[in-house]
Amino acid sequence: MDFTGLIAYPVTPFDAEGRISHEDLRGLVDGLASSGVDAITVLGSSGSFAYLDRSERSQVARTAIDAVDGRVPVAVGISSVGTREVLDAAVDAQAAGAAGLVLSPVSYVPLTDDEVLAQVRAVCAATDLPVCLYNNPGTTQFDYSLPVVAELSALPEVVAFKDTAADAATFNARHAELAALVQGDAFSHGVSGDVLMMSGEVAADAWHSGPAALLPAYYRRLRSAVVAGDRSEIDRVRHVLAPLVDHVAGLRKISGLHLLARACGIAAGDPRPPLLPSPGSELRELGRLLDVLEAEFGDR
């Protein structure tokens, strides 16, 4: 797995009692596998990985991988507070048939460069699956420097970097700087942050997105236009897609995605406590914005 193109990060659906709804998960990823996305990653932030135990995470991975049945690569998020748990998740993901791993430096105490280097090397020693590093400083309080990414890219298993930035110009500058630091052209530098994608100014090697798992056709259309430099099509898609994405971004990330999923007819249950659902009054506005998208472009 090379972690390029449009990579969708589905929610982990819950039922009304807070249990994982494997039937809804199976239906969601089955549809995604035929939607034109290039890959799927389960158990990312969108997938509520932090609120699931080891057994639940393993079951989610197996359900998704079985449902996709080889049609597109399925990566599995393995982030956890402790390295022991990260390694357990890596082993479980490989046993489930994952095509790759996504790892962010999660810890109760913010990690140092040396601690992150040691953890990534431990994962690469425990599995031969391709690894995508994930920079999520707003959550982890660790911000990957590009020299650290370049050092880790020398490991054969580390093939990608999921990155973010304050704005499109900053991301594009980081993209150029990292390309100069990394040897070879096979390393993928992808973008995380749907507001950056909606700018229409960041192509990157990959888009890593939670909303794309619920709106794959629209994200595919926008990414294709950005990669091609088709300004007319970029503006046309952004005009109707960006307001919906901005609205979801204004809600708490996981809760907002569960509400969007509900508006799309998926995942009737609320996110797992202690997270609270977004206000039910938002459902009507999400439905209105979805109607605008469908009137312009048809099916999601």
The residues assigned a catalytic role are 134, 162
The three-state secondary structure class of 209 is strand
On whether the CB atoms of residues 144 and 161 are closer than 8 A, the answer is yes
CB within 8 A of 269, min separation 6: which ones?
13, 14, 15, 16, 17, 18, 21, 258
On whether the CB atoms of residues 65 and 25 are closer than 8 A, the answer is no
Cα 256 to Cα 251: distance, rounded to the nearest angstrom:
5
On whether the CB atoms of residues 14 and 3 are closer than 8 A, the answer is no
Q: What is the DSSP track for 137-194?
A: HHHHS----HHHHHHHTTSTTEEEEEE--SSHHHHHHHHHHHHHHSSSS--EEEEE-H
Dig out the tokens for 29 from the structure. 């990823």
Dihedral sign of CA atoms 151, 50, 55, 33 in order: negative
Dig out the tokens for 262 from the structure. 């509900």
Burial 107-140 (b: 16+ CB within 10 A, else e): beeebeeeebbebbeebbebbebbbbbbbbeeeb
Q: How far is CA 210 from CA 51, 55, 145, 158, 248, in A?
A: 17, 23, 24, 22, 11
At 205, which amino acid appears?
Answer: D
